[in-house]
């Protein structure tokens, strides 16, 4: 019996336009009314999940920044794992001389950027690369200004050489490299949430579409991979069931067809 549903947002629970569709909203409310628990598990900063929670309309735990932070149903933080300041410095130093990189630093209640985001759907502040924040950093993410992933792969290789085992690096999308504390993952955060609710991962079902979902989808009793997930995610989880596309509300349809009590 699954008592907890954990779901990624972008590319999974949300439509390609980053919205909660009406059928998904309806199913999640029915699921909650039947005594089940929703856990939002996302790479987003927790501050940029609030509007989605309001649209869903039910209480939910939030695992944010790929597991670096956890907030309970009342919005209280129950976990925060920060990168050490010397590691933050090393990461930023090694990203120098790569002008195409766009940097996002997640720090407490702020998302700090070194550029002007295109059509942002989140709140942000600018930081100076010559005087970057080093303390209370929970995640650093890199994208590029030209859509190329070559420099992201190059940066990952450099950081693997110097910071292996000191950080957890993952791609939330093919064009976004994210770096957290070495003990951070969505899967480990979900284990903490499950325990807080009086369950364990054997009572969890999870949905995701990215490489940052791998731990979560492999650790729960049943991990479902989105049909729109890239091939490397499906190849990393060859024994996991693949469902439909996020544009067709595949998560909601799976919950409706398999878990809701009629």
Complete DSSP assignment for 160-207:
HHHHTTTEEEEEEETTEEEEEETT--HHHHHHHHHHHTT--GGGEEEE
Q: Which residue shows structure tokens 């791998």?
A: 214
Strands (E), 47-194: 61-64, 69-71, 77-80, 101-107, 110-113, 125-126, 137-144, 167-173, 176-181
Per-residue confidence in pLDDT tens, the chain, 262 aa: 899 999 999 999 999 999 999 999 999 999 999 999 999 999 999 999 999 999 999 999 999 999 999 999 999 999 999 999 999 999 999 998 888 999 999 998 889 998 877 666 677 888 988 899 999 999 999 999 888 899 999 999 999 999 988 999 999 998 999 999 999 999 999 999 999 999 999 999 999 999 999 999 999 999 999 999 999 999 999 999 999 999 999 999 999 999 988 7
Residue with tokens 């995610």, as numbered in its chain: 233
CB 66 within 8 A of CB 184: yes
Give the span between the Cα atoms of 50 and 62, in whole angstroms: 9
Identify whether 72 is a catalytic site residue: no
For residue 205, what are the β-bridge partners?
A: 5, 222
Catalytic residue among 8, 10, 209, 213: 8
Question: What pTM was computed for the model?
Answer: 0.95
What the block records as the tokens of 80 is: 């925060």
């Amino acid at each position: 019996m699954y008592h907890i549903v954990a779901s990624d947002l972008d590319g999974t629970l949300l439509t390609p336009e980053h919205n909660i569709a009406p059928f998904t909203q309806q199913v999640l409310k029915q699921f909650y009314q039947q005594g089940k628990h929703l856990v939002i598990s996302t790479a987003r900063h927790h501050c940029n999940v609030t509007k989605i929670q309001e649209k869903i309309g039910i209480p939910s735990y939030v695992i944010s920044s790929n597991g670096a932070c956890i907030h309970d149903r009342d919005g209280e933080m129950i976990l925060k794992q920060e990168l050490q300041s010397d590691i933050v410095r090393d990461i930023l130093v090694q990203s120098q001389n790569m002008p195409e990189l766009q940097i996002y630093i997640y720090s407490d209640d702020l998302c700090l950027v070194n550029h002007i985001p295109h059509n942002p759907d989140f709140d942000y502040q600018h930081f100076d690369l010559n005087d970057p924040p080093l303390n209370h950093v929970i995640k650093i993410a890199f994208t590029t200004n030209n859509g190329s992933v070559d420099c992201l792969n190059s940066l990952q290789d450099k950081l693997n050489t110097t910071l292996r085992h000191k950080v957890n690096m993952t791609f939330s999308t093919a064009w976004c490299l994210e770096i957290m504390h070495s003990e951070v993952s969505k899967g480990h955060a979900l284990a903490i949430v499950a325990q807080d609710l009086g369950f364990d991962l054997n009572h969890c079902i999870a949905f995701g579409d990215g490489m940052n979902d791998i731990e979560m989808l492999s650790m729960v009793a049943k991990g479902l991979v989105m049909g729109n997930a890239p091939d490397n995610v499906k190849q990393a989880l060859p024994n996991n069931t693949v469902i439909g596309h996020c544009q067709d509300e595949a998560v909601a349809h799976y919950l409706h067809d398999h878990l809701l009590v009629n």
